[in-house]
Amino acid sequence: MSSTALAFQQLTKSYGASDAVRGVSLEIPAGQFVALVGASGSGKSTLLKTVNRLVEPTEGRVTFEGEDVADLPLAALRRRIGYVFQSIGLFPHMTVAENIAIGPRLAGEKLGEGRTAELLELVELDRAMAGRMPDALSGGQRQRVGVARALAAEPHLLLMDEPFGALDPVTRDALGERVRGLHEEFGLTTVMVTHDMAEALLLADRVLVMDAGCIVADEKPEALVAGAGGEVAQALVAVPRHQAERLKELGQ
């Protein structure tokens, strides 16, 4: 029953003479958790942003649940897609509750107190946080609010651009697990951009490796660990593998 949630067709984005994304074609079935991995400048963030049109492609198109995103009204499109990113971007002049409710508010709806509390609990925050200002929260708590904000409008698709990049390792691990749990719970389709291969391997169903604007590997995590995907992918996998081996040696 896996219908296609997201499809890229011959997608290219050029900045002047240089291409950030070169002719990417790709289908993502509904319910999949996809990690988009690559070095800085490989085009992974650019590709992600063409989905909610923070970046307009130079050529090609993106379809979301069968509709070309270019044909959808911008605001409506963005309200249908949850978006979490590295700099978190909570509005500093709004309370936690107001931040979470911003999407529905823009659509002219109110988010009830109960729903706010529910969303806070989903990201493992105390409901008493609702009245706090963002500057009274820790970095991890802020990104949890960021995730709650992304889920408030009950999206089918969750886009995450380096969502845990600025967090400490412990928080990062816990929040990663929680997001994976939410992905299952709500049957989301999730696309996560990351430069951390270990994170990608542990959280995703499918790992896409990008290099110089092209997708150079498209594998399941198990296959990548088993050595598939080619040179660039294996170079990225080698890092956590090497770290794991070193840790094992230290323990002996």
Partner 1 sequence: MNGLWTALMGLGDQLAAHVLLSAAAIALGIAVALPMAVWASRSDKVARASLAFASLVQTIPSLALLALFFPILLSLRSVFGEGLPTLGFLPALLALSLYALLPILRNAVTAQANLDPGVLEAAEGVGMSFRQRLLLVEAPLAAPYIMAGIRTAAVWTIGAATLATTIGQKSLGDPIFAGLQTQNWVLVLAGCIASAGLALVADTLLGLIERGFRERRRWSWLGGLAAVALGVGAALFAQFGGGEDEDRVVIGAKGFSEQYILARLIGQRLEGQGFAVEYRDGLGSAVAHSAAASGEVDIYVDYTGTIWANQMKREDNLPRDEMYEAIEEWENENTGLVMLGRLGFENAYGLAVTQERANMTGLQSIEDLASVAPQLTIGGDPEFFERPEWIAVRDAYGLRFGEKRNFSPTFMYNALKSGEAQVIGAYTSDGRIEADNLAILADPKGAFPNYDAVILLSPETGRNEAVVEALQPLVGAIDVAAMREANYSVDREENKLSFDEAARRLAERAGL
Residues near partner 1 (CB under 8 A): 52, 54, 74-79, 83, 85, 87-93, 102-103, 106, 133, 149
Q: Is there a contact between 200 and 225 (Cβ–Cβ < 8 Å)? A: no
- Closest approach of Cβ 246 to partner 1, in Å? 35
- Number of Cβ atoms within 10 Å of the Cβ of 170: 9
- Closest approach of Cβ 218 to partner 1, in Å? 26
By beta-carbon proximity to partner 1, the closer residue of 88 and 215 is 88
Q: E-assigned strands of 2-138?
A: 4-15, 18-29, 33-38, 59-64, 67-68, 81-85
- Closest approach of Cβ 51 to partner 1, in Å? 11
- Number of Cβ atoms within 10 Å of the Cβ of 143: 27
By beta-carbon proximity to partner 1, the closer residue of 161 and 211 is 161
Closest CA to 81 of 140, 151, 27, 145: 151
- Closest approach of Cβ 88 to partner 1, in Å? 7
By beta-carbon proximity to partner 1, the closer residue of 75 and 128 is 75
By beta-carbon proximity to partner 1, the closer residue of 89 and 240 is 89
Q: Which residues contact 29 (CB under 8 A, 6 or more apart)?
A: 2, 3, 4, 5, 189
By beta-carbon proximity to partner 1, the closer residue of 52 and 116 is 52
- Closest approach of Cβ 108 to partner 1, in Å? 11
Can you tell me the distance from the alpha carbon of 214 to that of 208, in angstroms, rounded to the nearest whole number?
Answer: 10
H/E stretch holding 191: strand 189-194
By beta-carbon proximity to partner 1, the closer residue of 22 and 156 is 156
- Closest approach of Cβ 222 to partner 1, in Å? 33
* DSSP letters for 213-232: TEEEEEE-HHHHHTT-SHHH
Please provide the size of the chain in residues.
Answer: 252
